[in-house]
Copies of this chain bind each other. A is one copy, B any other.
Amino acid sequence: MAIRDLFQAELRVVNIGLPMFKQSLDRCGVRAIEVDWRPPIEVDTQALAAIAAAAGVIERANEKAVEAILGGKPVLIGMAQAIDAVPGMTRDTILHAGPPIAWDRMCGPMRGGVIGALLYEGMAATPQEAETLAASGAIRFSPCHEHQAVGPMAGIVSPSMPVFIVRNEDRGNLAYATVNEGLGKVLRYGAYGPEITARLRWMEQALYPALARAIEKLGRIDLKNIIAQALHMGDEVHNRNRAATSLLFRQLAPSIVRTTPGSEQAAQVLEFLNGNDHFFLNLSMAASKATLDAARGIAGSSVVVAMARNGTDFGIQLAGTGNTWFTGPAPVPDALYFPGFTKDHANPDIGDSSITETNGLGGFAIAASPAIVQFVGGAASDALRYTRQMYEITIAENNVYQIPALDFRGSPTAIDVRKVIERNILPVIDTGVAHKEPGIGQVGAGIVAAPAKPFEDALLGLARALALGAAPSPTQETL
């Protein structure tokens, strides 16, 4: 057919890729069909053969991983300052989100967070001093994940910051997370300066002691129970935490009132919590971390135990490949941007919060949270579709976390890197988007697909580990 004829005939379109092109055609009344096509994931055939040959070993290892993940019992047991609790924390250490990264490759929001932390710690008097210090090599940067910790967005943890201590009662391992600062100009989005320093100090000197006393009085707070309830209440506990925050608030409030000297101080603490619907996010992350860390070090297992982004690289870790990170460039989210912002302003994907997806929550449980789909631009049916798709790349359904809209089916849990490659379906992450310049804050929210490269590399890494003979003895290492 000549091009000329094409435009004289009635237009019929086959759309490949972004559904929004079809949506535009639909609005114009042009007949179009949508093909869900993605570029094939290509992996070395020798590695694939090695993985296929070890299927039995992998299955047995994965059973152990699933048992550890489903058996996880994360409970909040206390708080401390990072220097006193987080393993490997020193006075010159700053932890960050995602896989390892040096100062020179850090993105804007992460650099901003580092500057803010150095100002808060009193290690620098001005942002310029802080930058010089950060670049000097005198500061040890290290991923939260390598210190049993997780942090949202920039994920900065500095020695004086108060952290929640979460214990996995099933295996006894601990996980740590900072306290969520709220919205607006906050450190996790790379903001720094007097306002941020003052809030961090108030959190250290007023909020932390009040919360720590209240938690101590209660003894333990069952986070798995709160998350399970919150999934019945419209949260997916990544981008939406309103219900979980409310349930935590209800548990904490009487105890805060009893243990805080002075009713005005107690009221201020309660107002801070009430003012931040994301307050529970850091606990949902620590609960997921404590759960998944129990599945680390199971030789031969193809289960993903961490997905994390530092704003430059997207990294994953497998149960069967020890502490190796498999990385690729972090994508810039196709998000719904707030008025005045576009994709040009967006930083590549950032934060440890994708630990929730790794644990079958967040984007994996988004069918439980139609309101968040509305927030990121979509319909309730999209939410069902995302969650249904994630069952194709996971090997278990959670026994406690349920999706009401799917008749209380357990959330898709334990990502199998083999299935990701085989099905060519990448994990969906339901995330906030940071401005690429430090300190501006959130510019949007969206559903992001993880990049393929870390999963391709992880499969190769697993094949290598199996070849090295780690496979025949799938004994669990110490956590």
Residues of A within 8 A of B (CB): 229, 232-235, 242-243, 246-247, 249-251, 253-255, 257-258, 260, 263-264, 266-268, 270-271, 273-274, 370-371, 374, 379-381, 404-408
Chain A interface, DSSP helix/strand/loop, else mixed: helix
Give 10 closest A-B pairs by Cβ, nearest first. A246-B246, A370-B404, A254-B267, A254-B270, A233-B234, A233-B233, A257-B267, A250-B274, A232-B371, A254-B271
Given A234-B404, A263-B266, A404-B234, residue A274 in contact with residue B258 (CB < 8 A): no
Contact: A370 with B254, CB < 8 Å?
no
Q: How many identical subunits does the complex contain? A: 2
Contact: B274 with A253, CB < 8 Å?
yes
Can you add 17 more A-B contacts, CB < 8 Å, to A253-B274, A254-B270, A254-B271? Answer: A234-B234, A234-B404, A246-B247, A249-B250, A250-B250, A253-B270, A254-B267, A255-B267, A257-B263, A257-B266, A257-B270, A258-B264, A260-B263, A370-B405, A380-B406, A380-B408, A381-B407
Q: Which residues of the partner chain B approach A380 to less than 8 Å between Cβ atoms?
A: 404-408
User: CA A263 – CA B264 in complex, angstroms?
Assistant: 11
Contact: B404 with A371, CB < 8 Å?
yes
Q: Which residues of the partner chain B approach A381 to less than 8 Å between Cβ atoms?
A: 407
> Could you list 5 A-B pairs, sorted by A, with CB under 8 Å?
A232-B370, A246-B246, A263-B266, A379-B407, A380-B405
Given A247-B246, A374-B408, residue A267 in contact with residue B274 (CB < 8 A): no
Distance in Å from the Cβ of A368 to the closest Cβ of chain B?
9
Q: Which residues of the partner chain B approach A247 to less than 8 Å between Cβ atoms?
A: 246
Among A234, A255, A257, A406, the one with the most B-chain Cβ atoms within 10 Å of its Cβ is A257
Looking across the interface, which residue of chain B has its beta carbon closest to that of A264? B258
